[in-house]
Structure 1
């Protein structure tokens, strides 16, 4: 039996599709169960809730639930809220999992544990010193340290997976916004964004790695970075999106310095840094330790995402 947290979310839903037919318990903060064939438990991930019923009979936990990163978070003390859900909540769940006899705890962390950006050509590795730069990344980093410490002598193995930006059918946030912009077929001002590199991961590749870790003996107490193993510049990413959407792509050569100046003026430097900077990961440790490789190419992932995006627009009458 496997317990999946964040069952109604983007990753959790795709994971359930992949392993349907197995014995699964689902846990989510939402009241509605989107996957009615499986037992469902409505709980928050925090330092107080009791997960005994959800954990009963489980030998593995895949912990996808989290308080996610929010741009321009306006709450008074965001770090406290991130820590309550992502650190204290994770450890509360893990301690109860040990008491329930769970043998493997797979924690979906974040590349933000490594930092916000990497030097071009010098990708992050799983052995790098933690260098979180925001509250979300810090809460995930603290959870990783405490989980690995908790696992010592407990009889429960911990697996930590740090995804890069995850995309796929139904993706939201910045990726969806950029795809919507590209779908209009209008000239876009990214022609000078050719000298950065970013690692992305399709949700199907991430799910495949998670499933591999469930039973793989070499996964125990390891940290794995994951990507499509195909880094792209912002310019290249837009070209791949346009091709997948069947749209022309004209990218105007607006100098990067113009963006950086605008970012400072409008207090959006973090957004500009994501467009112009690099964030690369080295997944050689993941591939060598598990004998694993991403089964889906970046081109296939973009095509699948674009098809779902276009179908969604058609269904909503906006196509």
Structure 2
């Protein structure tokens, strides 16, 4: 029996990882959360969460005790992303963990990578967004520690991870309902999407194979899809026409100076990711009640995001060939199935879904 510690079990990916490995034969799960108030999601499956802060080596040692694998699915600020790597690595080494699996991001190549980009491509020397730079530095720190230590580690670089409870699904639904949704260039850019269970399949393959140890691996869905393909079904399910949404040009957004209000809104959206799920759900419910479907806030001007402009202008489908070759990555869920499951969750979560697609 392989015991897997899931660090960040209250987040979107971490919570789904608890569910995924709960159902896999040969695995037992140890959820780890930052605070007791975040233990409810894992607790509904009968798990007793361990409490630890990713920056606190002593609490991490206790949380990792008795575990064979540590899956690092934590979120945080850029400083927290980088700063968590040494204590996590050291704590896992000290208690005899057999492997650390780190969920990095395809954004280390930028939101709009160059044609021909693979894992072997040099990373940009200067990143346009702090998150990208933090993930790249975190990978570098992990490589440095790995060279000096004896703990095997794997690095996975997923793109846009979507599915039930994802910010890409629920967040876009919220934007539709409060009148702030838009599709840059009509959403025709390539979306390097990966359904969350396909990512967790890659995690499982990394556990069961050592061929990819120490090598960053890009992982994504099999199909090439656009942002309109991902977000259009969400709009239609809530009774909106994707064609009716604002379609600002990426070039105009990227060349414009970012207003202070837009920066504050971006910071607030980032902070939402670190709140307990129950509080996030309460905030979203209040927004839906205050601003019914299709209504816009009085006098509100949509703040176009630089990050969204970069993402929506992507022209490159990142490959998963290396992951397939080294660890046997083979995504089991097609894009259509992933979207269908995501829309079913919207209905379950209380969004005003009018149709299935």
Q: Return the TM-score normalized by structure 2.
A: 0.73
Which moves more between the two structures, 190-199 or 105-114? 190-199
In 2, distance between residues paired with 1:318 and 1:292?
34
Tell me what 1:251 maps to: 243
1:157–1:300 Cα change, 3 Å: same
1:19–1:106 Cα change, 3 Å: same
Structure 2 gap segments, 5+ residues each? 260-303
Q: Is the 8 A contact 2:194 2:219 kept in 1?
A: yes
Tell me what 2:156 maps to: 161
2:47 maps to which of 38, 42, 48: 38
Q: Is the 8 A contact 1:189 1:252 kept in 2?
A: no
Query: Any residues of structure 2 matched to 1:1-319 within 5 Å, and which?
Result: 1-20=3-22, 22-32=27-37, 33-34=39-40, 35-36=42-43, 37-46=46-55, 49-67=58-76, 82-83=78-79, 85-119=80-114, 122-131=115-124, 132-152=127-147, 154-172=149-167, 174-179=168-173, 193=186, 195-241=188-234, 245=237, 249=241, 251=243, 257=249, 260=252, 264=256, 267=259, 268=304, 270=306, 271-278=308-315, 280-313=317-350
User: Number of residues paired by the alignment?
Assistant: 297
Q: Is the 8 A contact 1:183 1:247 kept in 2?
A: no
Structure (1 or 2) with the greater helix fraction: 2
In 2, distance between residues paired with 1:123 and 1:102?
36
Q: Is the 8 A contact 1:225 1:282 kept in 2?
A: yes
In 2, distance between residues paired with 1:149 and 1:250?
46
CA offsets per residue over residues 253-289 of structure 1, 9 Å max, x none? 9775497269727644503333344453111111121
* C-alpha deviation, 1:10, in angstroms: 0.7
In 2, distance between residues paired with 1:19 and 1:258?
40
Structure 1 gap segments, 5+ residues each? 68-80
CA offsets per residue over residues 132-185 of structure 1, 9 Å max, x none? 33222222212211212222363321100111111101122x54343456699x
1:258–1:28 Cα change, 3 Å: closer
Q: Is the 8 A contact 1:192 1:254 kept in 2?
A: no
Q: Is the 8 A contact 2:185 2:250 kept in 1?
A: no
Q: Is the 8 A contact 2:86 2:141 kept in 1?
A: yes
